[in-house]
Structure 1
Amino acid sequence: MVSIKDIAKQAGVSISTVSYALNGNPKVTEGTRNKILAVAEELNYVPNAAARTLKMRETKIIGAFLTSFQGSFYGELLQGMKEEANKRGYDLVICSGKQSHRMLPERLMDGAVILDRQFADEQLLQYAKRGHKLVVLDRELQHPGIVQVLLDNKAGGTLAIDYLIRQGHKKIYTVTGPMASYDSQQRLAAAKLAIERNGTVEHHIIYGNFDKPSGVAAAEKIMAEYTEPVAVFCFNDEMAVGMYRALQGTTYTIGKDIHIIGFDHIDVSRYLQPKLATIDYSERHWGAVAAEQLIKLIQEEPVENERIYVSLVEADSVGVV
């Protein structure tokens, strides 16, 4: 059996460097990691944990890799994955953080759903080339071992902006997620296009982080600049909730002075006063479809990329101007 000592010798690096590279440790540069992975693939290297797994051929475990557990978004998504996995005879393991990434190359699971920005595209493609089965929820990657199950972010962004424009709004703020977020990039591109098509709308971008504090910061910025009624498209409901909190006790009224629409239709948004307009879809269905497609991929059944459709929920947080 090929060992990491054999890889180190052929790659001309130390054994510890090989170990770091195979485990995804950031101490190794991307160039060195790619070189070592190429040698490992050439020598048909299999980690010890993988060798134990391969004796049984499968673990009956799938993973879900998340950037974090922050916010109320993930509960329904993971529940959908768990229910579908259990129905098909699999268990679900939830992972977060770079140290957990080693579970993929060590084959401690049969496949994984990826919603984790800490995975580079090249890293996931390399895993797919080595036979790992993956479903991605946060990027577009083309490989037979990867299935995309993506939100229809462009439709959602367009629905939100068109709704604000129909209500007569001429000054619109968009509050984005993190710069590296695929969902945020797609929503911003759709929002810009919808605004450009109108031609008479003033557009301001506030860069946020998909959390309540960035919603608070956005509200404070808008109040500091306020001269007339404005509309705000928050790229998720968490940031919209942050805006509600910041506006409480001020002279500004939601739905009259500052008009807000969110994205996700999380449970808490249903109880805000005034009720929050938002873009709706089923997180549980999204998770279930992701698990279904992953298990089909593992079992070598026909699979296809999926799109999770969205709809507009109108509410009193957006009024006519």
Structure 2
Amino acid sequence: MKLPSTDDKKITRKDIAEMAGVSVSVVSRALNNSGYVEQGKKQKILSLAKQYGYTPHPVAMTLQQVRSRQILFFCKDMQNPFNVDLYYGMIEAAQLRGYLVLFNAAINFDRIRDIMVDGIILQNDRLASIYAEQYGKNYFLPVVAASFGNQEKNAVSIPIVEFDMYEACIRAIEYLRKNGHRNIAYAGPYPRTDNNARSIAWQNTMRNVFKDRLYDYFYGIHYSELGPMEELKKFRADYMNPFSVEETYFEKGKIAANLIVQRNTDATAVICFNDEMAFGMIAQLQRMGVRVPDDISVVSFDCTNQRDAHYPTLTDIGVNPRYQGERLANLLIDKIERKKIAYISKLPIKVFPGDSVKNRNALV
């Protein structure tokens, strides 16, 4: 084959495999420092990668031989209590294994080259997909990601610890139906065209109930769907840009509450995107004289440590996010230490009853 020039910026793993006389999977194991590769072949692969500019920085090469015993959590919004709990779970698990967990809220994958860490934990499916497509092929660091069942194009090479939000939303609907609710709405921070697993599960399940009125019960927050309301335009940035620093879930919950009152449907319950959005929605509903759960019941996800700090206590479908954080940290450290890992780990889904759901069966 024709060898690439040193100025070629499109060098691929396939190119390196052909030059080294090995398979692409062997190249991937060598570059990701994951799994066994015969030492001579590994050194040849790394040498070719360096020669043809596959790695963007010498730090990545150094990390093949030297461990910092530090891992990095990439997360764009730490105002969300779920991510705070996730982080503390990582800290606790990593500490037991002699590692520190660094944190970066200003998402910038290009800065990886300047950071001495042994591996990376990505916040969610979307970031994992972007990393895999745009950056992952250029770095040697082991990477794992939290996953929430969203339909992203994720590389199978990135191990995940998944809380399946699609299944969780189905469980939420089942729970509400057992409590006598039939007309169940949904409130989320994104438009209905977004491929979020919660939104898709609700649409697929409730379409048979609402028929052509389905989207009267969908309280999605996006300025382009809500008309010329100037105050809503500020929310465009955090939807369009996955690297924006903070999500405004609490504020979007307040807007969802306004939509609930404006549309005045016959919904007796609403499934909310997450705890932070639910807190904002309930607070605004109460300001407008709508009682939760007497007038409308609310179910959320996440089960953060903030549940008991708000009234009424949320009914949550989820897992303890600290547990997911622990699993992520241990998964990454196992990968760093070249232990056998499962590339897909699913977390059990549980119902955490609270005071935000009214049992309507007692009214019959």
Tell me if 1:213 matches 2:251: yes
Report 1:1-321 matches (<5 A).
Answer: 7=6, 9-11=7-9, 42-45=52-55, 47-54=57-64, 56-99=65-108, 101-106=109-114, 108-115=116-123, 119=127, 121=129, 123-125=131-133, 126-127=135-136, 130-138=139-147, 141-144=154-157, 146-178=158-190, 185-196=196-207, 203=214, 204-208=217-221, 211-304=249-342, 305-321=344-360
Stretch of structure 1 that moved more, 220-229 or 201-210: 201-210
What displacement does 1:114 show? 0.4
Please state whether the residue corresponding to 1:73 is helix, strand or coil: helix
Please state whether the residue corresponding to 1:92 is helix, strand or coil: strand
What displacement does 1:68 show? 1.7
What displacement does 1:285 show? 0.8
What displacement does 1:109 show? 1.3
Match of 1:34 in 2: none
TM-score when normalising by structure 2:
0.68
Q: Any idea what the Cα deviations from partners look like across 1:224-243, whole Å, max 9, x if unmatched?
A: 12154531100101111111
Q: Which amino acid in the other structure matches residue 141 of structure 1?
A: N
What displacement does 1:255 show? 1.3
Change in Cα spacing, 1:10 to 1:240, as seen in structure 2 (3 Å) is closer
What displacement does 1:76 show? 1.8
Query: 8 Å contact 2:184–2:267 — kept in the other structure?
Result: no
Please state whether the residue corresponding to 1:246 is helix, strand or coil: helix
Change in Cα spacing, 1:201 to 1:289, as seen in structure 2 (3 Å) is farther
Query: 8 Å contact 2:55–2:139 — kept in the other structure?
Result: no
Within 2, Cα distance between the matches of 1:252 and 1:43?
A: 61
Query: 8 Å contact 1:172–1:202 — kept in the other structure?
Result: no
Change in Cα spacing, 1:295 to 1:114, as seen in structure 2 (3 Å) is same
What displacement does 1:168 show? 2.9
What displacement does 1:44 show? 4.8
Please state whether the residue corresponding to 1:279 is helix, strand or coil: strand
TM-score when normalising by structure 1:
0.77
Structure 2, unmatched stretches of 5+, are: 11-47, 222-246
Stretch of structure 1 that moved more, 66-75 or 168-177: 168-177
What displacement does 1:172 show? 2.3
Query: 8 Å contact 1:178–1:210 — kept in the other structure?
Result: no
Q: State the identity %.
A: 22
Change in Cα spacing, 1:253 to 1:44, as seen in structure 2 (3 Å) is closer
Within 2, Cα distance between the matches of 1:180 and 1:306?
A: 28
Within 1, Cα distance between the matches of 2:169 and 2:190?
A: 16
Within 2, Cα distance between the matches of 1:268 and 1:293?
A: 26
What displacement does 1:267 show? 2.5
Within 1, Cα distance between the matches of 2:9 and 2:54?
A: 14
Change in Cα spacing, 1:44 to 1:159, as seen in structure 2 (3 Å) is closer
Within 2, Cα distance between the matches of 1:248 and 1:295?
A: 45
Please state whether the residue corresponding to 1:131 is helix, strand or coil: coil
Within 2, Cα distance between the matches of 1:291 and 1:181?
A: 33
Within 1, Cα distance between the matches of 2:260 and 2:92?
A: 42
What displacement does 1:40 show? 6.8
Query: 8 Å contact 1:64–1:112 — kept in the other structure?
Result: yes
Query: 8 Å contact 2:72–2:104 — kept in the other structure?
Result: yes
Within 2, Cα distance between the matches of 1:202 and 1:166?
A: 23
What displacement does 1:178 show? 4.1
Query: 8 Å contact 1:62–1:91 — kept in the other structure?
Result: yes
Aligned residues: 286
Within 2, Cα distance between the matches of 1:88 and 1:140?
A: 32
Match of 1:16 in 2: none
Please state whether the residue corresponding to 1:254 is helix, strand or coil: coil
Query: 8 Å contact 1:229–1:256 — kept in the other structure?
Result: no
Query: 8 Å contact 1:229–1:257 — kept in the other structure?
Result: no
Q: Which amino acid in the other structure matches residue 123 of structure 2?
A: L
Within 2, Cα distance between the matches of 1:131 and 1:95?
A: 19
